[in-house]
Amino acid sequence: MTKIIALNGSPRRTWNTAQMVEAAVRGAADAGAECELIHLTDLKYTGCMSCFGCKRLGGKSFGRCALRDDLTEVLEKVLTADGVIIGAPIYFGDVTGMVRNLFERIWVPGLLYSKDGSIAYTKRVKTALIYTMNCPDENFYKDLIGSHKATFERLVGETETLCAVETWQFDDYSKYASTMFDVEARRKRHEEVFPQDLQKAFELGRRMAGSDAE
């Protein structure tokens, strides 16, 4: 059975990113995949510590992250799964720190600094990167997203990306410092467009599980 691991990289366990990731999981499960959803906020881990245990020739961690923390087991699940779905809110023009740390821990052990471009990972894992953001246009982050996609395609597997823009950020905008937003336009978008984003995530999940059915 196709195995898919899904990771929510927002500190919020029920908001936009989590909902997009959950929709993708529903799509994958609908297409017959076995799915596991993990909220990264529940785990304690760091980014790459530059120990180079993953590159030590003949070492016991060669090709795998040598750090031992809450991410260790998750990394093994990611690298042995058929697909990985990673949800990331944009924070100050980048992914959240917990997602960046995850990326480093996935990417660094795969990279061999080899002349011929060979990598350590032998299994290809289909990857979906789902971003959510305040910004009205995902093209604003196209370089960032393009660079993530290129790195995942080089080291991990075929990668697709999906964005939900102008997300609903507060339960009640009147209670927070947020005068830059047109709240009614946001509400409308949340009610009318976000459900379409969730549907796109569902379809992405179905594709991840190997079904092209819309």
Ligand X SMILES: Cc1cc2nc3c(=O)[nH]c(=O)nc-3n(C[C@H](O)[C@H](O)[C@H](O)COP(=O)(O)O)c2cc1C
Binding site for ligand X (CB under 6 A): 10, 12, 15-18, 89-93, 132-135, 167, 169
Closer residue to ligand X, CB minimum distance, 18 or 38: 18
Q: Which H or E element spans position 193?
A: none
Distance from the first to the final alpha carbon of the chain: 21
Pairing state between β 94-95 and 83-91:
antiparallel
Rounded to a whole number of angstroms, the minimum distance from the CB of residue 122 to ligand X is 33
Pairing state between β 34-39 and 83-91:
unpaired
Rounded to a whole number of angstroms, the minimum distance from the CB of residue 66 to ligand X is 31
8 Å CB contact between 81 and 208: no
Rounded to a whole number of angstroms, the minimum distance from the CB of residue 143 to ligand X is 14
Overall residue count recorded for the chain in this entry: 214
Closest CA to 88 of 169, 155, 16: 16
Closer residue to ligand X, CB minimum distance, 81 or 90: 90
8 Å CB contact between 62 and 55: yes
Rounded to a whole number of angstroms, the minimum distance from the CB of residue 94 to ligand X is 8
Rounded to a whole number of angstroms, the minimum distance from the CB of residue 185 to ligand X is 15
Closer residue to ligand X, CB minimum distance, 112 or 144: 144
Closer residue to ligand X, CB minimum distance, 16 or 101: 16
Closer residue to ligand X, CB minimum distance, 92 or 113: 92
